[in-house]
Structure 1
Amino acid sequence: MSAEKIRKNAEQTVSEATSTAREELESLKSQLEQFLNHHVVPTLSEAANTAVSSARDIAGHQKKSVETNVSAKPLLSIGISAVVGFVLGRLSR
């Protein structure tokens, strides 16, 4: 075999290997995208919706708790608000 023939054979082999590697990578990329879209994204979306719903429930309970405490002791609530406002006003100067 001549050197030129060996070089052409090597180039062809490298080209075929490169093409096969690209095809494999594209196939893996496609499979990964399908997996993410069918399994991971819906699960994360459901978890996020559950977290948002729980946060809203907690916020609602806290709001009712504050309303109950304020209506039970309105003068104490006004006093606490005044003190907090005074302290924040002094700190902001």
Structure 2
Amino acid sequence: MSAEKIKKNAEQTVSEAATTAREELDSLKNQLEQFLNHHVVPTLSDAANSAVTNARDIAEHQKKSVETKVSAKPLLSIGISAVVGFVLGRMSR
């Protein structure tokens, strides 16, 4: 075999290996995208929706709790608000 023939065979082999590797990577990329779109994204979306719903429920519960306490003792609530406002006003200067 001549050196030129060996060189051509090596170039062809490298080219085929690169093409095969590129095809394998494209296939793997497609499989990963399908997996993410079918399994990971919906699960994360459901978890995020659940977290938002839970946060809203907690905020609503806390709001009702504060409303109940304020309506039970309105003068105390006004006094506390005044003191907190005064302290924050003094601290901001």
Q: What TM-score, normalized by structure 2, do the two folds share?
A: 0.98
Q: CA deviation at 1:84?
A: 0.7
Percent identity, aligned pairs only, is: 87
> How many matched pairs?
93
What RMSD over aligned residues (CA atoms) do the two structures have, in Å?
Answer: 0.5
Q: Structure 2 matches for 1:1-93, cutoff 5 A? A: 1-93=1-93
Quick one: which amino acid aligns to residue 4 of structure 2?
E
Q: Which amino acid aligns with 1:78?
A: I
Distance 1:57 1:10 in 2: 67
Taking structure 1 as the reference length, what is the TM-score of the superposition? 0.98
Give 2:17's aligned amino acid: A
Letter in 1 for 2:26: E
Dislocated runs of 4+, deviation >3 Å: none
CA distance in 1, matches of 2:2, 2:91: 88
Deviation of the 1:91 alpha carbon:
1.1
Query: Structure 2 stretches of 5 or more lacking a match?
Result: none
User: Unaligned stretches of 5+ in structure 1?
Assistant: none
Amino acid of the structure 1 residue aligned with 2:73? K
